[in-house]
Amino acid sequence: MTVRLAAVYFAYFVYVGAAGPYLSLYLAALGRTSVQIGALLAAMQFARIFAPSLWAHEAEINRRPVRSLRLTLALGTLILALLPLTESLWLMGLVLCLQALCAGGAMPLLEGLTIARLSERPAQYGRVRLWGSVGFVCAVTAVGAQLDLYGIGSLIATLVGALFIALLAAGTLDDRDSAPSAGHSPWHAVLARTEVRRVLIACFLMNVAHGPFYAFFSIHLIGLGFSKTAVGLLWSLGVLAEISAFWLQPRWAGRWTMERVFAFSLACAVVRFAAIALIGANLPGLLLVQLLHGATFGTWHVSALALLQRDCPEPLRGRAQALYMGVSFGAGGMVGSLLAGALWDRHGALTFMAGALFALAGLMVFWRRSRL
């Protein structure tokens, strides 16, 4: 089953890799302002606050997480195909919000299936998850060149196609391969655990810190004179570093505590976003800061999941993971996108410095309550 799970990761992250760096460019090409772009991306992140919990609850009731995964991908594909038909800002925001509410539920379901499958070999999680990163790097490289050749209007067809392939890959999975549901677990039982709250707050701040990066890094690079192909290559370098972090997980996971890895990742985010704000078009500097993505996402994501799995008993782990997705990628991403949109026109690249400050706040929250 791990090969089939890896195939779903790969296809789904082709979609993520095409959307993440280039959706803001698509919206800008439609004439949307930076504030509107930030608001539209925030609408998607707002939906992602609720998507993990909604779909986790649906899978918990029906005891069929694979069926739920297929449903998220099918609905996400159909709704995304409607985006080119929208003209008004409000209708576009509604379509993006609904699409994120559906497709945003795929990741926690897929992560839950993977973690359950590897319950006897948790250090191997990174070896499966890295195929998502491979899909991402393939997408950002190929789609950047595609947009240079065929124009930004070809993006939506690529996104719809990638999600459809992910749906086909999910069709190879079987609910009989998944772990049995532990039944309904109350949310307050997860949040009552101090260590879990500490991790979730730090994860929220980490994703606020990434908001300016995900919303405006591509626009920033285009403004500095880089081609879309070059933008794709720079994104690819970051994901290659992420793949390395996942592949080497069995080595570093046994050498350092997850608390130290988590704190190190936050510290790298402070350095990375502050550097982006200051170095401009310095290519060697941009190459170095993109290599830090291996820490600011790769080791951070693995250590966050490991801490939540460790600090929650078995019946609460599914809920904790859904909260992690909603609070960090959903709420954190929404606040980060809104913040970036509000600051970009006036402050430009210095907006990334706000990201560095939020990462520092996350590090301070985690450091105060952790034994490193």
58 in helix, strand or coil? helix
The 10s digit of each residue's pLDDT in 195-254 is 888 899 999 999 999 999 998 999 999 999 999 889 989 988 998 898 898 888 888 877
67: Cα separation from own chain's centroid: 22
The answer, yes or no, to whether residue 133 has pLDDT greater than 50, is yes
Question: Please, what sign has the CA dihedral across residues 240, 172, 54, 258?
Answer: negative
Structural contact between residues 32 and 40, judged by C-beta atoms closer than 8 angstroms? yes
| pLDDT at position 181 | 47
Closest-CA residue to 68 (of 106, 37, 30, 99): 106
Mean pLDDT score across all residues of the chain: 88
* Tally of structural domains, the chain: 1
The answer, yes or no, to whether residue 60 has pLDDT greater than 90, is no
Region of 151 please: left (phi>0), alpha (psi -120 to 50) or beta. left
C-alpha to C-alpha distance for 183 and 186, rounded to whole angstroms: 10
The 10s digit of each residue's pLDDT in 289-302 is 999 999 999 999 98
pLDDT band at 127 (very low <50, low <70, confident <90, very high): confident
Q: Which of 51-60, 105-114, 354-363 has the highest mean pLDDT?
A: 354-363
| pLDDT at position 63 | 77
| pLDDT at position 182 | 45
| pLDDT at position 183 | 46
Higher-confidence position of 353 and 145: 353
The answer, yes or no, to whether residue 123 has pLDDT greater than 70, is no
What is the domain-level CATH number for residue 23? 1.20.1250.20
pLDDT band at 180 (very low <50, low <70, confident <90, very high): very low
C-alpha to C-alpha distance for 38 and 346, rounded to whole angstroms: 14
The answer, yes or no, to whether residue 179 has pLDDT greater than 80, is no
The answer, yes or no, to whether residue 339 has pLDDT greater than 70, is yes
C-alpha to C-alpha distance for 98 and 68, rounded to whole angstroms: 16
The answer, yes or no, to whether residue 326 has pLDDT greater than 50, is yes
Tell me which residue range forms the domain holding 335: 2-369
C-alpha to C-alpha distance for 130 and 125, rounded to whole angstroms: 9
Neighbouring C-beta atoms of residue 150, cutoff 10 Å: 12
The CA distances from residue 323 to 48, 165, 191, 210, 338, in Å, are 11, 27, 9, 18, 21
